[in-house]
């Protein structure tokens, strides 16, 4: 079985079957990753298709000797980030969200929905750099070295961003809890 990098080199040389193989390897993973934050199936699939379109367009820019996965993931995360920027400019109905490992049967649906909305709102208060690291590590289940490679940072810088992001997230959630029910209605 050829490595990702060998397949990419073959694709750059004109082997379309190599691209199909790369698509088969990465499309399911990317769809799962996109769906963790983007609950609209069609939007998640479209972002994956856009990712591979960008890979096709930038295929000649791929540097031999580099690893393909971080390059591909960077393209995908940049497209996802742009998707959310566009949605901020044109707000739509909130998405459903469940953190990995949560047990949906343990709590009443209304309580879970309220928790999901709180976490989503708290995440939105974080700077992009901290939010991206938390989402990639926690929700997309990437290791710190993978996140570092995708973002072009050192592992230490990623860990610092995660630590500061978790502190800020905790403070944002505590601030939300400090608001009384009467304050929420006004």
Provide the pLDDT for residue 58: 92
Provide the pLDDT for residue 111: 62
User: Is residue 52 over pLDDT 60?
Assistant: yes
- Give the model's confidence band at 94: pLDDT under 50 very low, under 70 low, under 90 confident, else very high: very low
Provide the pLDDT for residue 96: 47
Residue among 97, 77, 69 at smallest CA distance from 137: 77
User: Is residue 186 over pLDDT 60?
Assistant: no
Please give the domain boundaries of the chain with CATH numbers for all domains.
1-96 (1.10.1740.10), 106-186 (1.10.10.10)
Q: What's the CA dihedral at 161, 167, 168, 171 to 10 degrees?
A: 180
Residues 99-122: what's their mean pLDDT?
63
Burial grade of 132 (CB within 10 A; 0-12, 13-18, 19 or more): buried
Distance (Å) of CA 94 to CA 28, 87, 116, 176: 24, 10, 10, 18
Please tell me the distance from the alpha carbon of residue 59 to that of residue 111, in angstroms, as a whole number. Answer: 47
- Name residues whose C-beta falls within 8 Å of residue 17's C-beta, 6 or more positions apart in sequence: none
Provide the pLDDT for residue 84: 84
User: Is residue 95 over pLDDT 50?
Assistant: no
Provide the pLDDT for residue 112: 65
Residue among 115, 143, 154, 147 at smallest CA distance from 132: 147
Provide the pLDDT for residue 90: 56
User: Is residue 89 over pLDDT 70?
Assistant: no
Give exposure, 23-39, as e/b (b: 16+ Cβ within 10 Å). bebbeeebbebbbbbbe
pTM for the predicted model, two decimal places: 0.56
Residues 12-25: what's their mean pLDDT?
94
- Give the model's confidence band at 48: pLDDT under 50 very low, under 70 low, under 90 confident, else very high: very high
Residues 9-32: what's their mean pLDDT?
93
- In which residue are the tokens 């949560």 written? 102
Please tell me the distance from the alpha carbon of residue 38 to that of residue 15, in angstroms, as a whole number. Answer: 32
Q: What is the DSSP string of 38-70?
A: ---HHHHHHHHHHHHHHHHHTGGGPPTTS-HHH
Q: What is the pLDDT of residues 137-172, one digit of tens each?
A: 887 778 888 888 888 889 899 999 999 998 998 888
Q: Is 95 helix (H, G, I), strand (E, B) or coil?
A: coil
Q: Pick the range with the lowest mean pLDDT from 46-50, 74-78, 113-117, 140-144.
A: 113-117
Please tell me the distance from the alpha carbon of residue 140 to that of residue 9, in angstroms, as a whole number. Answer: 27
């Amino acid at each position: 079985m050829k490595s990702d990098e060998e397949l990419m080199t073959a694709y750059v040389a004109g082997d379309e079957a190599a691209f199909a193989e790369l698509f088969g390897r990465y499309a399911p993973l990317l769809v799962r990753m996109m769906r963790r934050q983007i609950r609209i199936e069609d939007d998640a699939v479209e972002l994956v298709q856009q990712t591979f379109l960008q890979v096709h367009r930038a295929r000649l820019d791929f540097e031999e000797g580099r690893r393909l996965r971080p390059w591909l993931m960077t393209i995908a995360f940049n497209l996802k980030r742009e998707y959310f920027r566009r949605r901020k400019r044109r707000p739509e109905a909130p998405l459903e969200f469940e953190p990995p490992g949560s047990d949906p049967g343990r709590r009443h649906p209304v309580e879970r929905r309220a928790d999901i909305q709180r976490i989503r709102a708290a995440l939105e208060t974080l700077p992009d750099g901290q939010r991206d690291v938390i989402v990639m590590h926690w929700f997309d289940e990437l290791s710190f070295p993978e996140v570092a490679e995708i973002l072009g940072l050192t592992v230490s810088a990623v860990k610092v961003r995660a630590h500061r992001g978790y502190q800020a997230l905790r403070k944002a959630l505590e601030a939300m809890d400090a608001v009384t029910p009467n304050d929420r209605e006004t």
